[in-house]
Structure 1
């Protein structure tokens, strides 16, 4: 995984796999936000598998699937989720770009 730190609150990466989650928890992430729709490409892990692993490691997991530019509703949902998370958040999608777009949309 190639994690790109945006600031102390948020970082992005490409696809997370269930076996990555333990290391993310050890690295200090409090939550994972997935901006990738399930079944976007063959072999992609389902968000539910990531969420199960996150829960096992005391992390919150939020799914806000985005195709293209984030909608106002998706940005609102992301902002609400960020307000409930204490600590650093890792956003992911295929490349990290949609996750970064969500974060920049809330003016951080």
Structure 2
């Protein structure tokens, strides 16, 4: 498992996780797992139902908010915002962590933080959001 990347106090992102990673994540203090990857993107990818069942068996909260960047809409941002609470240590994941980072940038931007500063912060953590720009612009504030 790749080490989760911390974007703020309690929001971390990671590439695809697997059922066997969940116990390690629990040991690391995560209480909420958010899956931003649609089922069926890769043959070796566990589906959302498998991950949810395993997460709940460990006492973890689990949410599925699948994102395809060309179809990114306000409803995805709203759902992610409703799922995330600032007091839960959260791991959001997708294929590479980029889509989960995009959602964080847009959620924080909606709270009044600078879009440019947020993109810069995430880029400094190793995520290239330039290819996501066309999906993000319609949903960004200032």
Q: TM-score under structure 1 normalisation?
A: 0.92
Change (3 A) 1:38 1:21: same
Bigger RCO (CA 8 Å, 6+ sep): 1
**Cross-structure match for 1:82:** 84
Alignment-derived partner of residue 27 in structure 2: 26
Alpha carbons 1:32, 1:61 under 8 Å: kept: yes
| CA apart distance, 1:78 | 0.5
- 2-side partners of 1:94 and 1:9: how far apart? 20
Q: Secondary structure at the match of 1:106?
A: helix
Question: Which ranges in structure 2 are unaligned for 5 or more consecutive residues?
Answer: 112-142
Quote the Cα distance in structure 2 between the aligned partners of 1:29 and 1:56: 14
Higher relative helix content: 2
Question: Any idea what the Cα deviations from partners look like across 1:38-76, whole Å, max 9, x if unmatched?
Answer: 001112100111111110111111101101153100000
User: Looking at CA atoms only, which structure, 1 or 2, has the larger radius of gyration?
Assistant: 2
1 CA distance for matches of 2:74 and 2:97? 19
**How far is 1:7 from its partner?**
1.6
d(CA) in 2 for partners of 1:57 and 1:28? 12
Provide the TM-score with structure 2 as the length reference.
0.71
Partner of 1:100: 101
What 5-or-longer segments of structure 1 have no aligned partner? none
Report the secondary structure of 2:84's partner residue.
helix
1:86 Cα offset (Å): 4.1
Aligned-partner Cα distance in 2 for 1:6–1:57:
25
